[in-house]
A and B are shown apart, each in its own frame.
Chain A
């Protein structure tokens, strides 16, 4: 079938972005298992882009390779499953932040290589360019290299499949501009920035359909123990926040802006 793809999206789970995070020795996040979790928002954007691409190219399929403790994965999948169609490949591994990128990438690559009937000539590897809990920005790139995929793009905001099968890619570059690249086709790696698609609405029927594959995938989730590769962490901290909230009524936007500027200048 012309221009059909096998799109593999890689993602971890991160604490819901509204949570207050507190790094602790380990390094880890304090009480991370207690916090509500979501699919990493960067990777979630790539999942929605993958689903849209697959829908536009009949015969395509989306896999979501997700790593987290099985119980957390199960909980988060109840939300993600309602968004877009995908087949889950579950890895029962550690949760969230500060995990070594090299060993994470190795686990992902191994799981991807083991997907039955995966056709490398149709393989597009998707994921987040960044992560909401880890800023290394190299996990996807490394996973691609381990899979032997040399065509790699980072900070992707748009992917268009041309009539001749070539892939046109918009990558973010410095100065708020995009770089346009052409790629002959699959296999290729795309680390997505935000993309252009809104989060899909929850569809109960979509959830039911996805669930038929998710439950078995969770049951056979492979335990993954990541090797720190001798890394040691000196310190970890979250950005310091200052919050000053005030309720105002009927204040013009210009005045609010002036006040904020004055406050920032202090």
Chain B
């Protein structure tokens, strides 16, 4: 029996294979930029022999894109973006074309004071708070100007879900590419030093991946070019990093979890579409937040919980609930209604986390390729730009009859990227956030320095691995707080909630509208679902490392409460609740090999069924 055959209950099942010209993984903004650029050119030149399929003679190039989510609209992240590259593709882009899109009209930066006295603030920060208190309104100090590097003037407020949906339709209307949702890709097919395509995830398997009724081995899709845009926690990107390693000195060590909700503002809201607020200082000084107002009284409001928040019991959901109740925000949000909710991991290392951008038979685009600008906090437009650059390079190589080798992709795609404003931006931002490893004040100074000098000056800093950024419980909490929390846990409370209670955070009074339980947020907001027949995609590599773990950060930080305390000390995973945010991947205090945490995040199906994110 060959590698491609499987015996199940006496029947031999073959692994199917398919030949295409270009196989793409992950449909997000980067892939949107790639496919928009490529398919437009294909549609404009249907008779161009260079754009004919090599695997299906007489047909156009066979371009297929596989997306894990159940719907192409299930994107995550309400964003404000400068939209320069996006507008290059769509110069006439207007609000009426894409729901929830609005031009940025007013923008401000707010420093939020802590009205509760519960957050961890250094002495320096407390002194600064005292000085600002007199100038603050509703416990918030409005910066007199928005620093240029943060400014998104002429930009757009977007829902990525709605934008993706619109872009997908534009691409598919050309008839030149097929976008397949509900199709998780498990890994790249690698032969020697070349990528030959991708393998889709097995279906009809038990939780451990063993064949079950209706077993269907994931199909092998062979392609001359594999385009990888599966984001910062994507399994194909991970499989490439495992095989080829990372460029010397590069590693994604800094992360953040973005969690947000889309709310319908009250009918009498004074907030107008295009309003953009950036906040910092609350609920913890390290936590940045935002409020973006879309058309029709919809708003995205959320936070970023970074890896440099060393607290091992960081929990984004409860933190988000305290954030929206900050007096400055709550006066606009208290009668709002949650419509949608979501979370995703953000690779915060920028160009420090850049992998090999191409190799024989493959290229990487978007956030997983290190394109996010950590100074401006901008990633969508940069991702779109990298997709455009790869499409232009692909067309050039096809027309010149050159193969998709590392050398050729380097000379076309990477060369374009290195000369672009994306590269200029990420280089300026390279060390902008290093200072946060030392403290918030140092971090802000570092950002300011980098911003004002276009990256020429920055605060230095040694950035430990993600697992090493998680402090032991005793460093984050006093003995009395821990004792109080342990007593609450014995009464059935969750550890992360018990510790927030013990440190002075008030309980959340649910209102059934915007303040709801975490479980209700999954159903009312995220509408989370997973098709049966797939294996668990979160695994604990070495259970022995979970046994003595006291931090339990993977449980605290799980956006969908899909990871919970198990029967023993190894956490339990419920894949039907997983929102695929990938937070578990970097919220683990233990490493098996000095490179990876003890959590293995693989290809899985399902996730959000909300399109408003």
Point out residues on A near B: beta carbons under 8 Å.
16, 18-20, 31, 33-36, 71, 74-75, 78-79, 82, 199, 201-205, 207-208, 211, 215, 219, 243, 245-249
Q: Which 8 A-B pairs have the closest CB atoms?
A: A18-B527, A245-B519, A36-B71, A71-B169, A201-B203, A36-B611, A245-B517, A34-B99
B344 at the interface (CB under 8 A from A): no
* Interface membership of chain B positions 520-535, coded 1 if the CB is closer than 8 angstroms to chain A and 0 otherwise: 1001100101010100
| Interface stretch of the complex, out of B33-41, B116-124, B138-146, B179-187 | B179-187
Contact yes or no, A34 B214, CB < 8 A: no
Cα separation A95 to B346 with both chains bound (whole Å): 36
Cα separation A207 to B172 with both chains bound (whole Å): 14
Interface residue from A204, A208, A249 paired with B492 (Cβ < 8 Å): A249
The distance from the CB of B336 to the nearest CB of chain A, in whole angstroms, is 14
In the assembled complex, which residues on chain A have CB atoms less than 8 Å from the CB atom of B66?
Answer: 204
Cα separation A31 to B175 with both chains bound (whole Å): 27
Interface residue from B180, B296, B533 paired with A78 (Cβ < 8 Å): B180
In the assembled complex, which residues on chain A have CB atoms less than 8 Å from the CB atom of B162?
Answer: 34
Chain B interface size, as a band, is: 35 or more
In the assembled complex, which residues on chain B have CB atoms less than 8 Å from the CB atom of A35?
Answer: 611
Interchain residue pairs with CB less than 8 A apart (18): A31-B99, A71-B169, A71-B173, A75-B165, A75-B172, A78-B180, A78-B181, A201-B204, A201-B533, A202-B180, A202-B182, A204-B16, A204-B18, A204-B180, A204-B183, A246-B517, A247-B519, A248-B492
- Beyond the given pairs A35-B611, A75-B172, 20 more chain A to chain B contacts, judged by CB atoms under 8 angstroms and listed by A's residue number, are A20-B339, A31-B99, A34-B611, A36-B609, A36-B610, A71-B169, A74-B169, A74-B172, A75-B72, A75-B165, A78-B179, A78-B180, A78-B181, A79-B182, A82-B180, A202-B180, A204-B180, A215-B175, A245-B519, A247-B519
The distance from the CB of A164 to the nearest CB of chain B, in whole angstroms, is 32
Closest to B162 in A: A34
The distance from the CB of B564 to the nearest CB of chain A, in whole angstroms, is 8
Cα separation A204 to B527 with both chains bound (whole Å): 25
B257 at the interface (CB under 8 A from A): no
Contact yes or no, A18 B18, CB < 8 A: no
The distance from the CB of A62 to the nearest CB of chain B, in whole angstroms, is 21
Known: A16-B71, A19-B527, A79-B71. A34 touches B181 (CB 8 A): no
Cα separation A203 to B215 with both chains bound (whole Å): 12
Cα separation A195 to B120 with both chains bound (whole Å): 58
B570 at the interface (CB under 8 A from A): no
Contact yes or no, B183 A202, CB < 8 A: yes
Contact yes or no, A34 B178, CB < 8 A: no
Which of A16, A203, A215 gathers most chain B CB within 10 Å? A16
Cα separation A4 to B451 with both chains bound (whole Å): 72
Cα separation A31 to B531 with both chains bound (whole Å): 26
In the assembled complex, which residues on chain B have CB atoms less than 8 Å from the CB atom of A207?
Answer: 178, 180
Known: A201-B533, A205-B16, A245-B519. A82 touches B219 (CB 8 A): no
Contact yes or no, A16 B527, CB < 8 A: yes
Known: A208-B178, A245-B517. A79 touches B18 (CB 8 A): no
In the assembled complex, which residues on chain B have CB atoms less than 8 Å from the CB atom of A36?
Answer: 70-71, 73-74, 609-611
Give residues of chain B (81-117) contacting chain A, Cβ–Cβ below 8 Å: 99-100
Contact yes or no, A82 B611, CB < 8 A: no
In the assembled complex, which residues on chain A have CB atoms less than 8 Å from the CB atom of B74?
Answer: 36
In the assembled complex, which residues on chain A have CB atoms less than 8 Å from the CB atom of B169?
Answer: 71, 74-75
Cα separation A35 to B612 with both chains bound (whole Å): 7
* Interface membership of chain B positions 500-544, coded 1 if the CB is closer than 8 angstroms to chain A and 0 otherwise: 000000000000100011011001100101010100000000000
Cα separation A31 to B99 with both chains bound (whole Å): 9
Contact yes or no, B73 A19, CB < 8 A: no
In the assembled complex, which residues on chain B have CB atoms less than 8 Å from the CB atom of A16?
Answer: 71, 527, 609
Cα separation A49 to B591 with both chains bound (whole Å): 50
Cα separation A35 to B339 with both chains bound (whole Å): 11
Known: A74-B173, A78-B72, A79-B182. A204 touches B609 (CB 8 A): no
The distance from the CB of B191 to the nearest CB of chain A, in whole angstroms, is 21
The distance from the CB of B219 to the nearest CB of chain A, in whole angstroms, is 5
In the assembled complex, which residues on chain B have CB atoms less than 8 Å from the CB atom of A249?
Answer: 492, 565
Cα separation A79 to B531 with both chains bound (whole Å): 13
In the assembled complex, which residues on chain B have CB atoms less than 8 Å from the CB atom of A34?
Answer: 99-100, 162, 611-612
Contact yes or no, A82 B609, CB < 8 A: no
Interface residue from B200, B214, B523, B531 paired with A18 (Cβ < 8 Å): B523
Give residues of chain B (571-613) contacting chain A, Cβ–Cβ below 8 Å: 609-612
Cα separation A208 to B179 with both chains bound (whole Å): 11
Contact yes or no, B178 A75, CB < 8 A: no
In the assembled complex, which residues on chain A have CB atoms less than 8 Å from the CB atom of B519?
Answer: 245, 247
B227 at the interface (CB under 8 A from A): no
Contact yes or no, B214 A79, CB < 8 A: no
Contact yes or no, B175 A219, CB < 8 A: yes
Cα separation A245 to B524 with both chains bound (whole Å): 11
* Interface membership of chain B positions 214-233, coded 1 if the CB is closer than 8 angstroms to chain A and 0 otherwise: 10100101000000000000
Cα separation A41 to B279 with both chains bound (whole Å): 43
Cα separation A82 to B16 with both chains bound (whole Å): 15
Contact yes or no, B168 A33, CB < 8 A: no
Cα separation A247 to B339 with both chains bound (whole Å): 22
Closest to A211 in B: B178
Known: A16-B609, A34-B99. A201 touches B214 (CB 8 A): yes
Contact yes or no, B175 A204, CB < 8 A: no
In the assembled complex, which residues on chain A have CB atoms less than 8 Å from the CB atom of B339?
Answer: 20
